[in-house]
Chains A and B, each alone.
Chain A
Amino acid sequence: MRVFDVLGPVMVGPSSSHTAGACRLALVARALLDEKPVKAHIRLYGSFAKTYQGHCTDRAIIGGLLGYSPDDDRLRDSFSCAEKDGLSYSFEEAESDTLHPNSVDLILEGKTKNVTVTASSIGGGAIKVVKINGAEVDFSAEYPTTILYHKDVRGIIAKYSELFARYGVNIAFMRVYRHKIGRDAITVIESDHSISDELLEKIRSLENVDGAVYLPAVK
């Protein structure tokens, strides 16, 4: 563990998992939507569901959806900020046997796009994204992360990984998830370096790539 993992993060309290972590996963979901959210339905599970008001998880999530980071003093006022910013939201409490005790479904709508993200706050402010639009994934958003939506065809991995190599971006972790052979797939690439707009455009214009979203490291 690094020095600033032990003495950190700097955060708005009260809880690194229920407040700071909740804010972070909302930030990630906002980035995955790839535009400003106008509507959010937030389904809280487990311990999140039981303690969200006392832990201010609700305010933290709304703040994250507005783009505030876990150390932003505006988190306390995020409900009134949401009103000013035109974000409407609703909360729901649910149970799950399989998800981590601090998990949430964030069902987001922007003007033109929408996304459903399931993520868990696993402790100390760390998070894990476990589902995007129903596809199971597993990443922490601590690295610059690129999510590619593509078809499961031979050679596609070589095509996009070659682009990363060409632009000098080292791939740290990569996982490919496909539903059925030859059908839709998601690749999550966690890299050591951030990717440029140009690289992102090149990835998006590859044959058999339906879309790509880039998440800078969410600290």
Chain B
Amino acid sequence: MFSSFEELVKKAEDSGKSISEIILETEAEETELSTEELISRMKNNLYVMRKSATVKKRCSASGLSGENGWKYSLSDNKGVLMGSLASKAMEYAMSIAEHNACMGKIVAAPTAGSCGILPGVLLAVAEEKNISDDEIVMALFNAAGIGAVIAERACLSGAEGGCQAECGSASAMAASAICELMGGTPRMCTNAAALTIKFVLGLVCDPVGGLVEVPCVKRNASGAINAITAAELSLCGVESYIPADEVIDAMSDVGKMMSYRLKETALGGLASTDTAKGFRLEGSGCNAQCRCNKG
């Protein structure tokens, strides 16, 4: 795979291909799997993503989340400030993140904590812009390529680099993917990824109770909007002053400088507020199981 955005963009520009095509071809070469097999596997990912986006009332074992996507979807104020595309993206992103929190089946993209962002954005864009499944599947290869570069240069997990790494990466992957879907050049795609990371540099991983719910579900919502913001800016020619690879390197540095208390240890940030400290998981696994089955 690629170790820099520059390398990826150069290959795309030299060959006149899109990032998604380059990633698909490279993966086929490096794994000795056929492009058909890879596409088929990615179609399965899309299937799981779509299923996980069902907007409904859910419940988690802890009770900390499960109804945000549903509540948002029913509100008269939904979309009152943002258009239907952005509000759909948030609705799906939160629903998928809650599906995850409630032991639903999801695709880690790149992680379970950030699993709502990429599919939330892609499904919303696909619906609003009448984009075919085949195109979305290719866009997922674009997203994977971006994620692979970030994994190589920095990291993808909150435990290592904070939420800027986890939701930030998902967001960057989504930004690049929709940029390509909307006709952006490879350079616009990596630029969009860089902008998204810039928006969230320093974002901490501070899960209440150590669980993947608060504030994770709502950061999936903001992650979706960050991706759309970055993609739109990039499509309109707004460029990151700092080159994309340097932005990722900066994210990596910031992650290393971050206190361990802000990297998925639940010892800082929201996780150490009075309310968070007062949170106790009531009941045994049995009670939670009963509630989940009803959800």
- Name the A residues within 8 Å of B173 (CB-CB): 6
User: What 1/0 mask marks residues of chain B from 1 to 37 whose CB sits below 8 Å from any chain A CB?
Assistant: 1000000000000000000000100010011000000
Which chain B residue shows the least CB distance to A73? B105
A8 to B41, CA, bound (A): 10
A10 in complex: contacting residue of B44, B103, B151, B209, CB < 8 Å:
B44
Question: CB distance A10 to B107 under 8 Å?
Answer: yes
Task: List residues of chain B with CB within 8 A of the CB of A54.
Answer: 60-62, 64, 209-211, 213, 281
Report how far A125 CA is from B152 CA in the complex, Å.
18
Number of A interface residues at 8 Å Cβ cutoff, please give it: 38
> Which interface residue of A54, A55, A73, A80 has the most chain B CB atoms within 10 A?
A54
Check B106–A13 contact: CB distance below 8 A.
yes
* Residue of B42, B103, B147, B213 ringed by the most chain A CB atoms within 10 A: B103
Contact of A4 among B41, B64, B105, B288 (CB under 8 A): B41
Chain A residues whose C-beta falls within 8 Å of the C-beta of B209 in the assembled complex: 51, 54
Closest to B44 in A: A10
The complex places the Cα of A1 from the Cα of B99 at a distance, in Å, of: 26
**B293 close to A125 (CB less than 8 A):** no
Q: Report, as a range, how many residues of chain B touch the other chain.
A: 35 or more
Indicate if the CB atoms of A1 and B103 lie closer than 8 Å.
Answer: no
A12, CB-defined interface residue at 8 Å: yes
A30: CB under 8 A from chain B? no
Establish whether residues A6 and B151, one from each chain, have CB atoms under 8 Å apart when the complex forms: yes
Contact indicator A76/B292 (Cβ below 8 Å): yes
Q: Is the CB of B108 within 8 A of A76?
A: no
Known contacts A7-B110, A53-B284, A59-B289; decide if A1 and B148 are in contact (CB<8 Å): yes
Contact assessment for A8 and B107 in the assembled complex, using a CB-CB cutoff below 8 Å = yes
Bound CA–CA A77/B286 (angstroms): 10
Chain A residues with Cβ under 8 A from B1's Cβ?
Answer: 1-2
User: Cβ of A103 < 8 Å from any Cβ of B?
Assistant: no
User: Does A50 lie at the interface of the complex (its beta carbon under 8 Å from any beta carbon of B)?
Assistant: yes
Instruction: Assess whether B92 is interfacial by the CB under 8 Å rule.
Output: no
Contact A2–B31 (Cβ < 8 Å): yes
Min Cβ gap A14→B in Å is: 4
Chain B contacts for A76, CB-based, 8 A: 103, 289, 292-293
Residues from chain A with Cβ under 8 Å of B27 in the complex = 2-3
Q: Using Cβ atoms and an 8 Å threshold, which residues of chain B touch A16?
A: 108, 111-112
Closest residue of B by beta carbon distance from A91: B285
- Contact of A123 with B by CB under 8 A: yes
Can you name the residue of chain B whose Cβ is closest to the Cβ of A16?
Answer: B112
Q: Please state if A14 and B112 are interface contacts (CB–CB under 8 Å).
A: yes
Per-residue interface assignment for chain B, residues 36 to 74, with 1 indicating a CB less than 8 Å from any chain A CB and 0 otherwise: 001001101100100000000000111010000000000
Binary CB contact string for chain A from 33 to 68 against chain B (1 if under 8 A, 0 otherwise): 000000000000001001101111011000000000
Interface residue A211 (Cβ < 8 Å from any Cβ of B): no
B109 close to chain A: CB less than 8 A: yes
* Contacts known (A4-B41, A10-B48, A53-B281); A15 close to B212, Cβ less than 8 A: yes
A71 interface hit (Cβ, 8 Å): yes
**Cβ proximity bits B91-111 to A, threshold 8 Å, 1 near / 0 not:** 000000001111111111111
State A6–B145 Cα separation when bound (angstroms).
Answer: 8
Asked if A12 contacts B104 (CB within 8 A), the reply is yes
| Inter-subunit contact B144/A6 (CB<8 Å) | yes
Is B113 positioned at the interface, with any CB of A under 8 Å from its CB? yes
Measured between C-beta atoms, what is the minimum distance from A74 to chain B in Å? 11
Give the shortest distance, in Å, between B195 (CB) and chain A (any CB). 20
Q: Which of B148, B160, B285 contacts A58 (CB 8 A)?
A: B285
Residues on B with C-beta less than 8 A from A51 are 209-211
A3 touches B213 (CB 8 A): no
In the bound assembly, the distance between CA atoms of A3 and B108 in angstroms comes to 12
* Neighbour of B38 across the interface among A3, A5, A15, CB < 8 A: A3
* Residue A11 interfacial (CB < 8 Å): yes
- Cβ of B89 under 8 Å from chain A: no
Return the chain B residue nearest A55 by Cβ.
B211
Q: Tell me the bound Cα distance from A53 to B213 in angstroms.
A: 13
* A residues lining the B interface (CB < 8 Å): 1-17, 19-20, 47, 50-51, 53-56, 58-59, 71, 73, 75-77, 79-80, 123-125
Of the A-B pairs whose beta carbons lie under 8 Å apart in the complex, a sample of 22, sorted by A's number, is A1-B148, A1-B152, A2-B31, A7-B118, A10-B44, A11-B107, A12-B105, A13-B101, A13-B212, A14-B100, A14-B101, A14-B103, A15-B112, A19-B103, A20-B112, A53-B61, A54-B281, A56-B103, A76-B292, A77-B289, A79-B289, A123-B157
The 3 closest A-B pairs by CB, nearest first: A13-B100, A6-B147, A51-B210
